[in-house]
Amino acid sequence: MGRTFDELVALQRAAEQAQNRVEELRDQYGSPTADGGWSGPQTETYETAWRAWRDLARDARAAVSEYAAATRVPQYEVEEKVRQKVRHGEPEIPEA
């Protein structure tokens, strides 16, 4: 059995939270090429956060693709409904 729509929403929320963390670190640390650059721990923290975002986003995309195939709903429609629910709490699409 594949993932439920609510699981897709949870995956997308996690990916967006990870993206927000990366952006927060970028804002906090400034440019890595600026005078002095980042310290070793800053670089490690940023790279760990970036990898987490990348992996969560990849997992969310894969889950949406699998869900779309299993329910025979076009992928773009599933993606849109997931985004709506994540951002606005719109109702979920029915499962086939």
Structure tokens at 58: 């990849």
Q: What is the DSSP letter of 3?
A: -
94 assigned to some structural domain = no
| Residue 78 or residue 34, greater confidence | 78
| Domain limits for position 47 | 5-29+39-88
Residue written as token pair 């970036």: 50
Residue 92 has pLDDT above 80, yes or no: no
Residue written as token pair 């409904």: 81
95 assigned to some structural domain = no
96 assigned to some structural domain = no
24 assigned to some structural domain = yes
**Number of domains forming the structure of the chain:** 1
80 assigned to some structural domain = yes
Residue 67 has pLDDT above 90, yes or no: yes
For the segment 18-28, what is each residue's pLDDT rounded down to a tens digit? 999 999 999 99
21 assigned to some structural domain = yes
pTM of the model: 0.84
Average pLDDT over the chain, rounded to an integer: 91
